[in-house]
Amino acid sequence: MKLNFKLQGQGQPIIFMHGVFGSLTNLSMLARDLMQNYQTIQVDLRNHGLSPWSDEMNFQVMAQDIAELCHDLHLNDVIMIGHSMGGKVALQLTQVIPELITQTVAIDIAPVKYIDSPNNHVLDALNQCISQNITDKNKIINVMQNKGIDEATIQFLLKSFKQEHWLFNVEVINKQYHHLCDWQTISPWLKPTLFIRGAKSNYVATAYYTKIFKQFPNATIETVIDAGHNVHAEKTAQVLQILHNWLN
């Protein structure tokens, strides 16, 4: 699948991959800084942003999409940076194009299967908006508030609501969401891998460390204090400092 992407800067390439319900703009606060010394490539993953839609959505096919992009752009020595769902795509890519990747960064996600999804209420709200054909932003906000969705998440979701249309494929994400929570243990990846976790988030719990190091023996885990799941947006300066120190 040919993904929509934004390319800036020159130098060693970094590919940025967003989380579920997001788009290529989500990691812009990191790309804007790193494009001064690297070539940054921000992508819309399938069923998101301006990339094509597909009924198939799992980490294997999403990794293949990125691999195709790497080949189309003739990339080598690639640094992969992904948040949440995009982080799992980055980790999966170590099995798909290992020869093209030098370093991998997973932001607030672990290579594990998640049993309890914190996005069920978001999917419920989105499904209600779709089924009732709700296209007025104020009414969408009311639905989401009634589902207990916090204001920051509502504003995040509305970034992908353009001209009375959701840019992400609600129907397929809903049907395939179990794949996004899933993870198949991979062969050990020996190259440097960085896990950045928010101290207030449960996505990279200390109980997962054993599985992290089993699959990524050369992993480094950095914790950002007073940050939740969207650690890159909440504590951008701290995350950039960690990235600069580690990449160098």
Report CA-CA distances (Å) from 245 to 19, 226, 239: 24, 20, 10
Catalytically annotated residues: 84, 229
- The span from the CA of 107 to the CA of 44, in Å, is 17
- The span from the CA of 42 to the CA of 29, in Å, is 11
Supply the pLDDT for residue 116.
78
Supply the pLDDT for residue 149.
95
Supply the pLDDT for residue 117.
77
Map out the domains of the chain as residue ranges.
5-113+184-247, 120-175
Tokens of 105: 């960064």
Amino acid 1 reads: M
DSSP state of 111: S
Distance of alpha carbon 142 from its chain centroid, rounded? 27
Give the residues of the chain that fall short of pLDDT 50: none
Name the pTM for this structure: 0.96
Q: What is the pLDDT of residues 56-76, one digit of tens each?
A: 999 999 999 999 999 999 999
Q: What is the number of alpha carbons within 13 Å of residue 13 lying toward its C-beta? A: 19
Whether 226 contacts 200, CB under 8 Å: yes
Q: What is the pLDDT of residues 177-225, one digit of tens each?
A: 999 999 999 999 999 999 999 999 999 999 999 999 999 999 999 999 9
- Correct CATH for 5-113+184-247 of 3.40.640.10, 3.40.1010.10, 3.40.50.970, 3.40.50.1820: 3.40.50.1820
